[in-house]
Structure 1
């Protein structure tokens, strides 16, 4: 018999948001409950009560980070009346990823991605695979001939270009150089968007 986890309390939600903001600055690899609790106006005892363990808190923070990613992916596609094509979406996505204000989130994502590869049995488990699937699902939804092997290879290539560019950008901060390289490497979609975005990504 399975049980449904009760909805988080207002206090749990508040502390998770505060802890998430803290993790964007301090990362997760060396997360210590005491300084975190002090920074967000709580205590280690309360955090352990709400999240079960330090690993439970990390899992909640990773889920919170992934939710930001999913909101982004949905926002990109929802601004078009019709599927805009892989080329358009890839460029929209890079614009969002490369924005200066998103560096903390992107660094947290890279940290979690790497940790999930080297510690697959820890709280990071499945993070890397899940994010790959999220992005590939988005690309598939806007791609002509989405079920062919060629289409699958193309969206995988686009993902590789974007993520490789992101790593370079985070390492060097050279937005102009990396953006030029990413846009040059992205394949051109021969089926241009049939509509204009109603809103630009904020």
Structure 2
């Protein structure tokens, strides 16, 4: 958060939450202000006033989606006194990622991640790299201190992250929770 900017107004926060709920269902790729504004009980002019531009609104929506992800990371970090290991945290992350109620958020995440790669200068800028950093930081805290700083430790958490994201893409494409969960568990057990 930019300390030089005033906090959002109650109306801005309310409209952001409504727009976020809308984007979980409709995505962001073809976001048009008029249908969005109608759906959330506002107008395009109000949205432009509150968020500065369509890109500003998209940036706010991406930050809102990332806030859900960061909240999970904080919860997992606070749960353990000692590093539980990548197997334990990987299974917890998978349970969270694969939950049916999170599928809309995960689809939005995939969309934003992909857009960040192909439109790195737009409102999506740095979304993909920031989420990689967030997750690698969390996975590092799950490792014992001696492993955490090693090249092998870094490679292991990178592998766990890649496996979780690959399994998530597979789950979102096929809906096959049993198969993807079995694959995740098998990888983490090695």
CA distance in 1, matches of 2:37, 2:113: 25
CA distance in 2, matches of 1:153, 1:83: 17
Say whether residues 1:185 and 2:187 are aligned partners. yes
Shift of 1:84: 1.4
Task: Tell me the TM-score normalized by structure 2.
Answer: 0.96
State the superposition RMSD in angstroms. Answer: 1.2
Shift of 1:54: 0.2
Matched residue, 1:162:
164
Higher relative contact order (CA 8 A, sep 6+): 1
Shift of 1:81: 3.1
Matched residue, 2:155:
153
Matched residue, 1:175:
177
Unaligned runs of at least 5 residues, structure 2? none
Matched residue, 2:113:
113
Unaligned runs of at least 5 residues, structure 1? 189-202
Say whether residues 1:102 and 2:102 are aligned partners. yes
Residue-pair matches, total: 187
Shift of 1:80: 2.3
CA distance in 2, matches of 1:131, 1:170: 18
Greater helix percent: which structure?
Answer: 2
Matched residue, 1:50:
50
Task: Tell me the TM-score normalized by structure 1.
Answer: 0.90
Q: Give runs of aligned pairs for residues 116-155 of structure 1, distance below 5 A.
A: 116-144=116-144, 145-155=147-157
1:33–1:54 Cα contact (<8 Å) kept: yes
Runs of 4+ in 1 over 3 A off after TM superposition: none
Deviation by residue 1:138-169 (Cα, 9 ceiling, x = unmatched): 01112122000000000000001100000000
